[in-house]
Amino acid sequence: MKQFNVPVGYRSPLISAVKQYRKQQDKLKKDDTPTLLDLGNLQIYLARHFGFCYGVEHAIEIAFSTIESNPGKRIFLLSEMIHNPQVNADLLAMGVQFMQDTYGKQIIPFDEIKADDIVIIPAFGTTLAIEAMLQAKGIATTKYNTTCPFVEKVWNRGEQIAEKGYSIVIHGKPKHEETRATFSHASSVAPSIVVNDMKETVELAKYITGENEPDKFYEQFKGRYSEGFDITKDLTRFGVINQTTQLATDTQAISDYLKSVMIRKYQLTAETIDAHFADTRDTLCYATNDNQTAVTGMLQTDADLAIIIGGYNSSNTSHLVELCEEKIPSYFIDTPERIISKTEILNCNWRTKEQQIVNNYLPEKSSVKILITSGASCPDAVVESVIKKLASLYGVEDRVEKLIASF
């Protein structure tokens, strides 16, 4: 896979050594067990896969090279390039201006940009309407487009099934940048609708089967369906695509459920299923899937707690926290500074995004085992800094540097 030029400040000698060692030992990625960092009375287990993914490194390389090669020019980002506070803070410090917040609220009016300005499209992509508006202003969108290739893969798959006459159901968070972009692309080629979770999917299925009155659909799913969507016709033949950072198991469960609904309604067989339901399993992002699978493997280890590192508005990181919380006391942090002391940690609730100090999060025992992973937009350097912060609490920070040579 292509190697990207990512600022050295985001790299970590320790994490790079660990990842390279695991890659050599497990080239086919069949071993999901975590990597043990033995620091004596502190034992840290790193997930098999974590941190920057292909799409994030691709976006970072484009953004930073754009800044470097365009001194004196005004450079804008449509919104946060990725959901990581450090990376976005670095871009702001270099003079980049964000035009919208995470939910699409305007910060800088589009009227203020000119043809000779640079506008970077973030890794989540953008809507066709915004892209057309930028092009109408004479702004080059292709050169500074950091849209993740795996997001574009989802768009392409949507176009492919639309050409075959299928409508599109999108599993995603309706307000998320990526889902808004995917909905824009999907709805331009086929009737489309967004479902947030299984609960909404079950409700949608009731309209497919006729259990719910059609007229109620338009209010219940207001703002989620494409213009002219006809609930009595547009879900007789469809496929499911997804926001790439959703839980892979959730997307698969939603797809499987809707498939079963169609089989029952139309009395379909394995040979006739594609008459009403498209196979779209290949839209699941490899990195999201790898990180989630690695967390499942990591959780097989007997440990005291888990620490998950990443931006608080990062969807893929939140899902890693969700997985961990089901099995073990888990703490969601974005920087090592959230680890206040051996008795206090500032934890973020992944559902509400509220931060609260948790007392006595570390057990009072002679040897502590901690599971660690991070989201796809979290720099390895931040993971290393968290490890060093934990090591300092146990007086074993000198052992961290020695670990590099052991891999």
Residue 280, token pair as written in the block: 């779209």
**Average pLDDT rounded to a whole number, residues 346-361:** 97
Q: To which H or E segment does residue 316 belong?
A: helix 315-325
Residue 384 burial (CB count, 10 A)? 19
Whether the predicted model's global pTM rises above the 0.85 cut: yes
Asked if the domains 8-53+287-404 and 149-284 are classified in one and the same CATH topology, the answer is yes
pLDDT tens digits along 23-48: 999 998 899 999 999 999 999 999 99
Scanning the structure block, which residue is given the tokens 């469960």? Answer: 253
Beta bridge partners of 287: none
Contact 140, 73 (CB under 8 A): no
pLDDT at residue 281 in the model = 74
Q: Is the pLDDT assigned to residue 285 strictly greater than 90? A: no
Residue 119: phi, psi to the nearest 5? Answer: -120, 115
State in words which class domain 54-136 has: alpha beta
pLDDT in tens, 291-332: 999 999 999 999 999 999 999 999 999 999 999 999 999 999
Q: Is 381 a residue whose pLDDT tops 90?
A: yes
pLDDT, position 102 = 84
Asked if 15 contacts 21 with a C-beta cutoff of 8 angstroms, the reply is: no
Phi-psi region of 355 (alpha: psi -120 to 50; beta: other; left: phi over 0): beta
Sign of CA dihedral 12, 18, 24, 30: negative
Average pLDDT over residues 57-85: 92
Six-digit token string for 379: 């720099």
* Residue with more model confidence, 280 or 59: 59
- The tokens describing 67, both together, are 């800044």
How many CB atoms lie under 10 A from the CB of residue 32? 18
Within 10 Å of residue 321's Cβ, how many Cβ atoms? 25
Report percent pLDDT > 90 for the chain: 86
Residue 283 has pLDDT above 80, yes or no: no
Q: Which CATH fold would you assign to the domain 149-284?
A: Cobalt-precorrin-4 Transmethylase; domain 1 (3.40.1010)
Q: Mean pLDDT over residues 275-287, rounded?
A: 82
Flag whether pLDDT at 2 surpasses 80. no
Closest CA to 319 of 255, 243, 257, 221: 243
**pLDDT tens-place string over residues 215-235:** 999 999 999 999 999 999 999
Of the candidates 300, 205, 202, 288, the residue with the CA atom closest to the CA atom of residue 249: 288
Q: What is the pLDDT of residues 258-267, one digit of tens each?
A: 999 999 999 9
Q: What is the 8-class DSSP label of residue 8?
A: G
Tens digit of each residue's pLDDT (9 = 90 or more) over 145-197: 999 999 999 999 999 999 999 999 999 999 999 999 999 999 999 999 999 99
For residue 168, what are its two tokens? Answer: 């599109």
- What is the reported pLDDT for 219? 96
Task: Kindly indicate the confidence band of residue 282, based on its pLDDT and cuts at 50, 70 and 90.
Answer: low
Catalytic-labelled residue, pool 178, 200, 322, 384: 178
The type of residue at 306 is A
Residue 303 and residue 42: Cα distance in Å, rounded?
Answer: 11
- Class for the domain spanning 8-53+287-404: alpha beta
Rounded average pLDDT over 245-250: 87
DSSP-assigned letter for residue 274: G
- Of 78, 51, 241, 219, nearest to 157 by C-alpha is 241
Question: What is the reported pLDDT for 4?
Answer: 81
Mean pLDDT of the chain: 94
Distance (Å, rounded) from C-alpha 63 to C-alpha 43?
37
Confidence of residue 406 (pLDDT cuts 50, 70, 90): confident
Nearest C-alpha neighbor of 81 from the set 314, 392, 323: 314
SS3 142: coil
Where is pLDDT greater, at 2 or 253? 253
Catalytic (active site) residue 178: yes
Q: Please report, for the chain, the start and end positions of each structural domain, with discontinuous segments joined by +.
A: 8-53+287-404, 54-136, 149-284
- Is residue 107 over pLDDT 80? yes
Rounded Cα distance, 84 and 334, in Å? 8
What is the pLDDT averaged over residues 233-261?
93
Residue 354: pLDDT above 70? yes
Q: How far is CA 348 from CA 333, 345, 386, 399, in A?
A: 6, 10, 16, 29
pLDDT at 25: 93
